[in-house]
Structure 1
């Protein structure tokens, strides 16, 4: 049901029962959604909200899992190359360092940001927000972190790296003995976890948490 601006209640608690389309600013009454359901704007068709599904405790457990998998993905070798009986393995940072020495500094910096810095920042930011959200509170720095999470989303490219690495392994197999190492499997697991996080509607934290009184 659409509401005009004059129909919107002034009470802060009642205002939480409203849902505003971020694309066309149409206002709706929020209604409970069954599992798998979503609400769409009748005016522009944008997705307003999805079923909340997993709670803060479950998401926090996934965050801790993602942190462990991330450490494995960055510390374990990604691939081993063999030629004439000699084998060399390489971690993510070995690859980035090699690109830097090979006069590909821009690519090396982009790889470090999208494969290490941004995913790690996202994991820590989500963990910090969910740690407080478990008790219905807003974490210190809640607002800037929520904005940063919105902008960081497109820059975590673990899935692109995994697909590119698999293609490279297939092509390199024509010239070398190529053995996938545990690091590439850890990155595949991290890719799945990041995909799960991407499907979570974090905007619900605005409604499920409250500001602490000074």
Structure 2
């Protein structure tokens, strides 16, 4: 078990220390074995996880996610048929429809959590990972890392996919429902974003160095 360090003041920790972000308890850092998770003994928060993914693998994951994201937003999600009439729409088509039907709050939340937050997360993670390949910190590294931490819980593509599947099953009782490529692209994106959630981006602080001015 990781034991708290004695006599260490809270502040900017050297690379040999962990600081719990919830209760500020300080721990001496050690290498984690495969699958091991370091937790705070005071509040049980996660301090760090073992990661087998290299920076190159993270960058490749980001590129794959961006390809799936583009496909998910340009392809129709589902086609509804009734009495020979077929109607299909994309995610943005649904958002525009909600806006026109006076559901502006829902439309804004959907646009933010399903489009803007995910794309900002992918762009920033790709930006810092691209420089981290050579052990350098990207311009705006600190701001990017703080933003990645803040928007992490707000990327909800997996919630959208599960909700869409439930809606498709229920709509099948009244319409002819044909799943389109967009929903499958979102399914792939959901799996990739789930993989993102297991990546502790804070390790990029350890594998990079400040670029001299």
Q: TM-score range by the shorter chain?
A: over 0.9
**Hey, what's the Cα distance between the residues in 1 that align with 2:102 and 2:115?**
20
Contact 2:8 2:26 in 1 (8 A): no
Aligned length: 210
Contact 2:113 2:156 in 1 (8 A): yes
Q: Deviations over 1:76-107 (max 9, x none)?
A: 00000111112111111111111111111221
Residue in 2 that maps onto 1:202: 201
Report how far residue 7 of structure 1 moved.
8.7
Report how far residue 3 of structure 1 moved.
1.9
| Secondary structure at 1:87 match in 2 | strand
| Secondary structure at 2:27 match in 1 | strand
Report how far residue 113 of structure 1 moved.
1.0
Q: Deviations over 1:143-201 (max 9, x none)?
A: 11111111101111111111111111111111110011110010011111111101111
4+ aligned runs moved over 6 Å, structure 1: none
**Hey, what's the Cα distance between the residues in 2 that align with 1:139 and 1:202?**
14
Report how far residue 49 of structure 1 moved.
1.0
With over 3 angstroms needed to count, the CA separation of the structure-2 counterparts of 1:173 and 1:29, relative to structure 1, is same
| Secondary structure at 1:136 match in 2 | coil
Counterparts of 1:39-78 in structure 2, within 5 Å, are: 39-78=38-77
Report how far residue 6 of structure 1 moved.
4.9
**Hey, what's the Cα distance between the residues in 2 that align with 1:7 and 1:143?**
22
What is the root-mean-square deviation in Å for CA atoms of aligned residues? 1.7
Residue in 2 that maps onto 1:5: 7
**Hey, what's the Cα distance between the residues in 1 that align with 2:159 and 2:65?**
17
TM norm structure 1: 0.93
| Secondary structure at 2:52 match in 1 | coil
With over 3 angstroms needed to count, the CA separation of the structure-2 counterparts of 1:141 and 1:84, relative to structure 1, is same
Q: Deviations over 1:95-124 (max 9, x none)?
A: 111111111122111111111111010100
With over 3 angstroms needed to count, the CA separation of the structure-2 counterparts of 1:149 and 1:6, relative to structure 1, is closer
Residue in 1 that maps onto 2:178: 179
With over 3 angstroms needed to count, the CA separation of the structure-2 counterparts of 1:174 and 1:6, relative to structure 1, is closer
**Hey, what's the Cα distance between the residues in 1 that align with 2:179 and 2:205?**
42
TM norm structure 2: 0.93
56-65 or 26-35, which deviates more: 26-35
Counterparts of 1:1-214 in structure 2, within 5 Å, are: 1-6=3-8, 15-214=14-213
| Secondary structure at 1:82 match in 2 | strand
Gaps of 5+ in 1: none
**Hey, what's the Cα distance between the residues in 2 that align with 1:7 and 1:98?**
54
| Secondary structure at 2:116 match in 1 | helix
